[in-house]
């Protein structure tokens, strides 16, 4: 929906009138176009009709779950989805992330943090790199050669280490659940073997510690997963 002359459009899917009002004020004041839907089914229809630049989705809706809304949207669109949740349990968050949500923020939220998450998510979904080479800060991955370069230094990685870093780099800034990482790297039979992740994440962090360079950090979100971010 966005064009060079227009403001980014955001669709909010939430059933709380007061939250819709407050979010609308925050987003319009920040320069965004705002559209609102009051339940999941209406949100799915509006996402197809409006083609927004970003969707803010409440985890708990009166008709269908946030995970189901995400699954339905992902059948036809890769529009970034930022999930809102007042539930501290990780189960539904993981389910929604696995369904294709890009990030989540817990209610009550700080407006500045919300706007920062929106800006970061929109940046990630702006095409700016070719498929073979991914550059993040001073880190460069050449996918066809399975090569990691930091500045002028080549860092040797195992096949599995490179596959994991490539997955993170292709989803830079996006929180990936433990289960998704395990499935994509080792297959569906490994989706409960979190000890694999601790070992490989530790190895990657050590190998990517090169003083003097801007290097992305692999952040841990307890009980949920990991994200690669440049701060």
Look at residues 48, 32, 13, 178 and name the one whose alpha carbon lies nearest to residue 111: 32
Q: Tens digit of pLDDT for each residue in 130-179?
A: 568 888 989 999 888 889 999 888 999 999 999 999 999 989 888 999 98
Nearest in space to 42 (alpha carbons), one of 74, 60, 27, 64: 64
pLDDT for the residue numbered 37: 96
Q: Are the C-beta atoms of residues 91 and 116 closer than 8 Å to each other?
A: no
Give CA–CA dist 6/202, Å, rounded.
44
Three-state SS at 176: strand
Domains with residue ranges and CATH for the chain: 9-124 (3.40.50.2300), 133-229 (1.10.10.10)
Closest by CA position to 181, among listed 134, 124, 121, 226: 226
At 15-31, the pLDDT tens digits run 999 999 999 999 999 99
**Which residues make beta-bridge pairs with 142?**
133, 147
What is the pLDDT at residue 3? 45
Q: How far apart are CA 185 and CA 170, in angstroms?
A: 14
pTM of the model: 0.67
* Residues of the chain falling short of pLDDT 50: 3-5, 128-129
Predicted local confidence at residue 126, as pLDDT:
63
């Amino acid at each position: 929906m966005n064009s060079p002359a227009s403001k980014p459009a955001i669709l909010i899917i939430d059933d709380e009138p007061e939250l819709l009002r407050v979010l609308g004020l925050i987003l319009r004041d920040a320069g965004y176009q705002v559209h609102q839907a009051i339940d999941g089914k209406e949100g799915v229809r509006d996402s197809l009709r409006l083609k927004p630049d970003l969707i803010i989705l409440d985890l708990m809706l009166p008709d269908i779950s946030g995970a189901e809304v995400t699954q339905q949207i992902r059948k036809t669109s890769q529009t970034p989805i930022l999930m809102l949740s007042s539930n501290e349990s990780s189960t539904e968050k993981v389910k929604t992330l696995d369904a294709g949500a890009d990030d989540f923020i817990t209610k009550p939220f700080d407006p500045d943090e919300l706007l920062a998450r929106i800006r970061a998510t929109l940046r990630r979904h702006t095409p700016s790199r070719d498929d073979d080479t991914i550059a993040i800060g001073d880190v460069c991955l050449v996918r066809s050669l399975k090569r990691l370069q930091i500045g002028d230094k080549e860092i040797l990685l195992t096949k599995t280490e490179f596959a994991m870093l490539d997955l993170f780099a292709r989803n830079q800034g996006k929180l990936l659940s433990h289960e998704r990482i395990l499935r994509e790297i080792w297959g569906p039979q490994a989706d409960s073997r979190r000890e694999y992740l601790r070992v490989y994440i530790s190895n990657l962090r050590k190998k990517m510690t090169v003083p003097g360079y801007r290097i992305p950090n692999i952040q841990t979100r307890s009980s949920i997963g990991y994200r690669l971010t440049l701060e």
